[in-house]
Amino acid sequence: MATVSFRHVWKRFGNTVAVKDLNIEVADKEFLVLVGPSGCGKSTSLRMLAGLEEITEGEILIGDRVVNNVAPKDRDVAMVFQSYALYPHMTVYENMAFGLRLRKTPKQVIDQRVREAARSLGIDNLLDRRPRQLSGGQRQRVAVGRAIVREPAVFLMDEPLSNLDAKLRVEARSFISKLHQRLGTTFIYVTHDQVEAMTMGTRIAVMSAGELQQIDTPYNLYHNPRNVFVAGFIGSPSMNFFDAVLKEEDGKVIVETPAFRIPLPPAVGNMYRGHAGKRVVFGVRPEDIHDVDYQPPGILPAIIEANVEVVEQMGNEMNLYLEEQGKTFIARTDPRTQARVGKRQAVAINTSNIHLFDANTELSLAYEAKQAQPETIGASN
Amino acid sequence: MTTTTAPRVVETPRAIARLRPSPRWLLHIVLVVIAVIWLAPSVGLLITSFRPPAAIADSGWWTAFSPARFTLANYEHVLFSQGMGQAFRNSFLITIPSTILPLIVASLAAYAFAWLDFPGRDWVFLGVLVLLIIPLQTTLVPVLQMFNGLGLNGTLHGLWIAHTAYGLPFAIYLLRNFFASLPRDLFESARIDGANELTIFSRIVIPLSVPALASLMIFQFMWVWNDLLIALVFMSNPEYQPMTVRIQALLGTYATEWHIMSASAFVSMAVPLIVFFALQRYFVTGITAGAVKS
């Protein structure tokens, strides 16, 4: 059990910067997910924490101890690799016991811990098998088991579910979440899959191009993204973006894109009034664009029309690919929607859930204002 | 849709098979012919080694079965009275350490070249590779002079050192490439598990490299066992001369005693064959299957 701190951490490979001035404080017992596209520096950050990569600049602390120059084996961390990295010539039992044996743990203690962990993971009948005799899901559990028996202060997981098929992945997700609750240990989990990040993390650190973009609860990341990257990365299908200009006419704040004009309701407009006249990026999530005939009650709609290009019936919802003035965007509508390909469709944008970003800096214009709103704090522990 | 296309898919290979006659029988004939050509001298040697000297002088080995005249006297003679028994023991005395030593040194060096970071590593490895192309013969005189200076000439350990040194470049090259192909994750996982370099080497790398080590062992064993040149140059002491040197001596001293030649040559050949068949099961590929998901 321990806290983890990254303080002004840099990693350079020759001239390329892999991690740029990373600052993260991970609380004890937290489940922090590092997420981002490939090459964003998330794995490198984890590997620096594990001691597999040298830290070019800055400090990493586990608990109160600076671990920059501490060997991996002395950092009290355990890691689950994407490839599982099981020792092929050892049985499952030997794989799980290997770390303890090297630490000269007494035999009975090893035996007890290995059997207990195996039982809790449902692999106690596989202890005599070798890795090549196991399925992907079983190997994954052995890899987790090998980490558990060590009883480390921090669990590190580097895309542990990437090699599982879709169904197993969903099972493994809840299995790892339960494991975290049961062990009460700090978990740091790297993934490129935003669904894994959203469902498992108590907090999520979104990285891109070696830089931390935002670190927050899943709820806040979704509802108050700090910049265009985070807004587009979190959520599926991703947020629609439009180049727009923010205008003020007769005391009303209006978002004007080449395709349409959207007057903002006063409560929303007031947050952006100071930015009138600016070029902005207007963002709206597909789930905030509704078929006018099936809009939910209580939203503040702005009605626009567009051509329907593709209709995807998902059963519980419908994805409409819409086009207006050469700009395509997606709406997630009620499955009863009568939209037809090639026809015009009227849709209602829920203006209370829109996002506006500065066109130059790509930063959210209302990030601080929304942070202060009480309803954005909820939905997390 | 699938029901209409399926029969066509099944029929296609058959149609091709009808058009082109299978070359499999042709391949088998070629292989059998090659095998016979390859084996004929050895079979001849084997048969000759069991024939009495008079019969050898009289007729070719292919006539040995009519009438069949065989004897074990040649082998008795070779193993007990010609000093070949001693040479046979010498061959083992030379070959076993000369196989094990380079294996140990090369695996340690290969591990360093594959997985340790030290300045100039790649240049040193390049130097090892360059040694592969230097002809052995060019080094004989200077090495012999050095051995004379060090008192190693004519000693067993001198010969071990020579064989080890000459075997190392290839052994290092082969093992380094094998070690480098082991998944990096295994090393990192072991490092987090608490292993130091020596533990990783002995508990992870060596067990996983059995196929490579076995093939190398076979190569080196045969090379040393069959070696004549190095033994001739560095083993001036007749007490420790291996079989190859003795067999070669037979050619000169007596007016080629074929019965002794063939029997001793066959004794000499048998050992590498036994080694090969004993170790070949370690040639199994896929021993690393299951380490990482690819």
Higher-confidence position of B262 and B171: B171
Burial A233-269 (b: 16+ CB within 10 A, else e): bbbeeebbbbebbbeeeeeebbbbbebbebbbeeebb
User: β-strands A327-333, A318-324: how paired?
Assistant: antiparallel
d(Cα A61, Cα A8) in Å, to the nearest integer?
A: 11
For the segment A18-42, what is each residue's pLDDT rounded down to a tens digit? Answer: 999 999 999 999 999 999 998 899 9
pLDDT at B58: 79
Residue numbers of B between 187 and 246 with CB closer than 8 Å to A: 188-196, 199, 203-204, 207-208
For the segment B156-215, what is each residue's pLDDT rounded down to a tens digit? Answer: 999 999 999 999 999 999 999 999 999 999 999 999 999 999 999 999 999 998 888 888
Determine phi and psi for A18, rounding to 5 degrees. Answer: -90, -35
Highest-pLDDT range among A36-50, B63-77, B273-287: A36-50
Amino acid occupying residue A1: M
Contacts of residue A86 in chain B, CB cutoff 8 Å?
290-292
Q: Taking CA atoms, what residue in B is nearest to A84?
A: B292
Cβ atoms of B275 and B93 within 8 Å: the answer is: no
- What's the pTM value of the predicted model, to 2 decimals? 0.80
Looking at the DSSP bridge assignments, the partners of residue A12 are A17
Highest-pLDDT range among A295-299, A373-377, B125-129: B125-129
d(Cα A266, Cα A271) in Å, to the nearest integer?
A: 9
Compute the nearest-CA separation of A201 from chain B (Å): 24
In whole angstroms, how far apart are CA B253 and each of A283, B64, B98?
99, 27, 29
For the segment B25-73, what is each residue's pLDDT rounded down to a tens digit? Answer: 889 999 999 999 999 988 888 888 888 888 887 788 888 777 777 888 8
Is the Cβ pair B287, A88 closer than 8 Å? yes
Contacts of residue A50 in chain B, CB cutoff 8 Å?
188, 192
Q: Enumerate residues 6+ apart whose C-beta is below 8 A from A211.
A: A20, A21, A22, A41
The radius of gyration computed from the CA coordinates of chain A, to the nearest angstrom, equals: 24
Name the segment(s) of chain B with CATH classification 1.10.3720.10: 82-283
Is the Cβ pair A85, B186 closer than 8 Å? yes
Can you list the domains of chain A with their CATH numbers? 4-229 (3.40.50.300), 230-376 (2.40.50.140)
Q: What is the dihedral of CA A183, A185, A188, A194, to 10 degrees?
A: 50
Higher-confidence position of B7 and B262: B262
The yes-or-no verdict on residue B6 having pLDDT over 50 is no
CA-closest candidate to residue B173, choices B111, B204, B128, B208 = B128
For the segment A296-318, what is each residue's pLDDT rounded down to a tens digit? Answer: 888 888 999 999 999 999 999 99
Contacts of residue A73 in chain B, CB cutoff 8 Å?
191-196
Q: Which CATH class is domain B82-283?
A: mainly alpha
3-state helix, strand, coil in chain B (%, to 5): 80, 0, 20
Contacts of residue B289 in chain A, CB cutoff 8 Å?
88, 132
pLDDT at A376: 42
Interface residue A88 vs chain B (CB under 8 A): yes
The yes-or-no verdict on residue A85 having pLDDT over 70 is yes
The whole-number average pLDDT for the span A168-181 is 89
pLDDT at A373: 67
For the segment B226-259, what is each residue's pLDDT rounded down to a tens digit? Answer: 999 999 999 888 889 898 888 888 776 556 678 8
Cβ atoms of A257 and A327 within 8 Å: the answer is: yes
pLDDT at B276: 81
d(Cα B282, Cα B268) in Å, to the nearest integer?
A: 24
